[in-house]
Structure 1
Amino acid sequence: MLLPSLENLACFDAAARTLNFRTAARAVALSPAAFGQRIKQIEEQVGAPLFDRTTRRVQLTPLGLAMLPRARQCLAIAEDCLRSAMSPAPAPVELTLGTRFELGMSWLVPQLGKLTRRRPEVTLHLYFGASDDLLRRLHDRSVDCVVTSARWSAASLAAETLHEERYAFVASPKLLQREEFSRPEHAARHCLLDIDATMPLFRYLADQMGGVGRFAFARHRWVGLGAAMKTLVLAGEGVAVLPLHMVAAELRSGKLQRLLRSAALARDHFRLVYRRDDPRSALYAKLAESLRAVPIQ
């Protein structure tokens, strides 16, 4: 079956609205003869008249009345189709983002609703893991991207910078009442708490003060999570370098104190890391823009 053209349907709709062929012809920018030919073509396709025409009036036939709502629906769909092509909505996409437990729970999870509103086309799944695990999963494509401040050297990875990561060397006041820590040599009286031996946070202080060799701690304890480090420091079980956003409230309230205040700790940046060969780099740039708009508390 030969379908009517959209132009002919538009002429039919104009004639039905005005019930005057000359007026309808002007509305669609056609001559009366050309307009009449369009109506004739669609009537031939239907196989019956759509209008009763006399020298005095034009009326829709029962067939024309029955066809009119569907014709207008077709025209509306065609207009919507064109509009969607001119301003296409972003295609929906699902991403799995890996991050460390503390950062995910304190920053990303509370902001998921806001991120969804800013990027409704993106469904963001979360995976929590240690830094080396996250980078390994990024390489084997178990996750699509990673938010981390960990350092890497793989040329196969690309990154978008998000927020500055600052650190503080801290202890509880009750621990400092027992044993002071005002000089590097006082490390011999204390236990250092840290993530693990491969990614120690203490390096952000030691690297600025001549290396780890300047600090001979009585012992080390690796506890795997910044949240565990913070809990133990608050309990007076050791000293630690922790992300400033994790301990800012405790420093303000006096539950924790800074150590070696004159020492400047190194700084880092959280980055959104993804595989360089991933064709969705533009999407990661937009996601990074949304993440930069969400401050780390």
Structure 2
Amino acid sequence: MDTQSLQAFLAVANNGSFSLAGEQLYLTQPAVSKRIATLEDQIGARLFDRIGRRVSLTEAGQVLLPRAREILVMVDDSRQALANLAGDVRGSLTMATSHHIGLHRLPPILKAYTQAHPEVHMDLRFLDSEQAYQGVLSGDLEMAVVTLAPAPDPRLTVVPVWIDRLRFVCGKEHPLARQDRVALSTLSEHDAVLPGHLTFTRSIVLDTFAQDGLHVNVGLSTNYLETLKMMVTIGLGWSVLPETLIDDEVHILSIEHRPIERPLGYLVHKNRTLSNAARSMLSLLDDAATPKARAL
């Protein structure tokens, strides 16, 4: 099996389309089909069913998929280990970050990095933290800088860099804004606008209420914190926002509860050979870590 055929196989599997796979790989659709046909000949089994415009994995394709990812990661690791011997910081760095961290935490680090290592080509992807976790686990990403999961996958090395304090907020004309002190039970009586389902931040908030036997009425949700802030300012509900996003457009609620905090940091796969480019980025992040984050 050659790596080019495996790359084509993964691209079609991930995109569910030969044409989209071609765009991803900068190949024509016939070239992608030829690579898939070569791979099918080598393993003696059909990998995709083509019914109308729909492309789906066969049973053989489903068996090959995780193994193909492992093979390509292993090949990439071998190349990386050999390239690292030179000690140069060059090549590419594929990393992901969330929109909030990318806008409010990473800029000075990215500026310092690009100035120190101009020969590194950075492929920076803005993803939800949960998607970034999966990208590092699958090998698609070399590293990610995101909101850290309450229970990280044991296959990952997870390092806190910052601690985000989340503050309860509402619009200035919201009924809650007229109260000096607000109990969590009172918040339960009003609609909330929170990050989407299965996000780490939403889990942290819901768990806080659940510990007191309380339920949160979520009226609207979005994964973009800047959009949540807008929803709060126009009175659609209360929410929680990092202190870095809070200004005079929102009202900070005085809550009878300990502060809610979420750790932000980086993650890499324990079994992956990191490039010198990635190691240099991790070094900058370690230097930027706050004392509170280091203590976790």
TM-score band (shorter)?
A: 0.5 to 0.7
Superposition pairs for residues 1-297 of structure 1, below 5 Å?
90-109=88-107, 111-151=109-149, 152-176=151-175, 180=179, 182-199=182-199, 201-205=201-205, 207-208=207-208, 211=211, 213-217=213-217, 219-247=218-246, 250=247, 253=248, 255-280=249-274, 284-293=278-287
Instruction: Choose between structure 1 and 2 for higher RCO, CA contacts under 8 A separated by at least 6 residues.
Output: 2
Are the aligned partners of 2:160 and 2:265 in contact in 1 as well (CA < 8 Å)? Answer: yes
Q: Give me the whole-angstrom Cα distance separating, in 1, the residues matched to 2:164 and 2:271.
A: 27
Q: CA deviation at 1:276?
A: 0.7
Which of 1 and 2 has greater Rg? 1
Q: CA deviation at 1:275?
A: 0.9
Paired letter, 1:93: G
After TM superposition, the score normalised by the length of structure 2 is 0.58
Q: CA deviation at 1:114?
A: 2.4
TM-aligned CA distance change 1:239 to 1:292, over 3 Å: farther
CA RMSD of aligned residues (A): 3.0
Paired letter, 1:185: S
Q: Give me the whole-angstrom Cα distance separating, in 1, the residues matched to 2:228 and 2:211.
A: 21
Q: Give me the whole-angstrom Cα distance separating, in 2, the residues matched to 1:176 and 1:237.
A: 11
Please list every run of 5 or more consecutive structure 1 residues that lacks an aligned counterpart in the other structure.
1-87
Q: Give me the whole-angstrom Cα distance separating, in 2, the residues matched to 1:197 and 1:212.
A: 21
- Percent identity, aligned pairs only, is 16
- Residues paired across the two proteins, number: 203
- Provide the residue aligned with 1:81 in structure 2: none
Q: Give me the whole-angstrom Cα distance separating, in 2, the residues matched to 1:266 and 1:201.
A: 10
Paired letter, 1:113: K
Q: Give me the whole-angstrom Cα distance separating, in 2, the residues matched to 1:167 and 1:121.
A: 38
Which string of whole-angstrom CA distances, capped at 9 and with x for unpartnered residues, describes residues 254-284 of structure 1? x222224342123232221011111227764
Q: CA deviation at 1:228?
A: 1.2
Which string of whole-angstrom CA distances, capped at 9 and with x for unpartnered residues, describes residues 187-215 of structure 1? 24421111112125355455456527324
Which string of whole-angstrom CA distances, capped at 9 and with x for unpartnered residues, describes residues 134-171 of structure 1? 11111222211111123143221113332222211111
